[in-house]
A = this chain, B = another copy of it.
Amino acid sequence: MIIDCHGHFTTAPKELRKYRDAQVAAYAAGQRDGFADLRAFSDEELFRDLQGEQMKLQAQRGIDMALFSPIAGLMGHHLGNEAMSRHWSTTCNNLIDRVARAFPKNFAPVCQLPQSPGVRPDNCIEELERCVLELGFVGCNLNPDPAGGYWTDPPLTDEWWYPLYERIEALDVPAMIHVSGSCNPNFHHTGAHYINGDTTAFMQLLQSDLFATFPNLRFIIPHGGGAVPYHWGRYRGLAQDMGRPPLSELLLRNVYFDTCVYHQPGVNLLSEVIPVDNILFGSEMVGAVRGIDPETGHYFDDTKRYVDGLGLSAEDRLKVFEGNARRVFPRLDARLKAMTN
């Protein structure tokens, strides 16, 4: 089967964005807690564009299932306060839960966390446990910069994050390292902040012994790993100059890359330098780039075509499209096994 490890509910009803805008406006006007709940959408409202766009494209492209999380650009951890982030995260995760229950063959649920700048990530444990233990979520998204482009919280390798990592490791749910929108005018969100977040996270991990402390912690770095595979020689060389172990030992038991790179030469490079066991098929569809590439006549984000274009062996193809995802997300594997029984 074909598992897309990177999908967001970008086809949610447009009213969700209006609701969020109103929440942000309420905060600006002085509200600090007791935020109004989202109106209960009917199934028809909630699933209309999901079925009309997302699932239609899945079918057209031959994608069986997506790991599905709330809209990354809308997580907006930098907005409001911790109470608002918690309320909004719960709201979004509950929508994902409904999607995954209605279409269990198409979507496996992944949660956002109620991060807030300056707030210890311990605050995320309760929502993570609710999602994983009560609702059956299989993974989470972790924002390395809750400040939305100002990077004022500690690096991912700081002990600041350890209580959350302990819980993530114990629950055996991997985290996709994924920033949200940028409130810094220097950073376009999908064109700079996303890619920078990926590159930054990788280099933080390279400098640290985090995985000696948390050997079962697993991170997916999306968008093809940011700049990392393109500069793989630089990273190998920096690690060597710093007296670190080879990257294969230091990071590649715990760090994975998706295939959200929107042209064939990029996916070729990814496949050339990153071991096949560390690559998970992902498309970020419907998402960052929505148009058709005039050079190919196909959608930029139809990344399955690029992976098909690699000419992988049957064994490697199975790893990238299914096996690696099932291995990295054990709760996804259990879910799939339970569905076929």
Interfacial residues, chain A to chain B (CB-CB below 8 A)? 144-145, 149-151, 153-155, 184-188, 190-192, 195-196, 199-200, 203-204, 206-207, 223-224, 226-227, 229-238, 240-241, 261-263, 265-266, 268-269, 272-273, 288-291, 293-295, 300-301
Contact = CB atoms under 8 A, between A and B. Distances in A.
A238 B291 CA distance: 8
A289 B237 contact: yes
B191 A206 contact: yes
Given A224-B231, A230-B269, A232-B266, 14 more contacts: A154-B186, A187-B203, A191-B206, A191-B234, A191-B238, A192-B196, A192-B203, A195-B231, A196-B196, A196-B199, A233-B289, A237-B290, A237-B300, A240-B291
Contacts of A145: 186
A238 B192 CA distance: 11
Contacts of A231: 195, 223-224, 261-262, 266
Given A203-B191, A266-B269, A269-B269, A237 B291 contact: yes
Q: How many copies does the complex hold?
A: 2
| CB-CB nearest 9 A-B residue pairs | A233-B263, A227-B227, A237-B289, A233-B262, A230-B230, A237-B300, A191-B203, A196-B196, A192-B203
A53 to B, nearest CB: 15
A200 B204 contact: no
Contacts of A149: 151
A212 to B, nearest CB: 19
A114 to B, nearest CB: 21
Contact of A237 (B185, B226, B265, B293): B293
Contacts of A227: 195-196, 199, 226-227, 230
A235 B191 contact: yes
Contacts of A300: 233-234, 236-237
B265 A273 contact: yes
Given A227-B227, A265-B272, A155 B233 contact: no
A60 B293 CA distance: 44
A241 B290 contact: yes
A241 to B, nearest CB: 5
A155 B263 contact: no
18 contacts: A145-B186, A150-B150, A151-B186, A151-B187, A190-B238, A191-B238, A195-B231, A226-B227, A229-B230, A230-B266, A230-B269, A233-B266, A234-B263, A234-B300, A236-B295, A236-B300, A237-B262, A237-B301
A151 B204 CA distance: 19
Given A186-B151, A186-B200, A188-B207, A261 B288 contact: no
A191 B198 CA distance: 12
A235 B238 CA distance: 27
Contacts of A289: 233-234, 237-238, 241
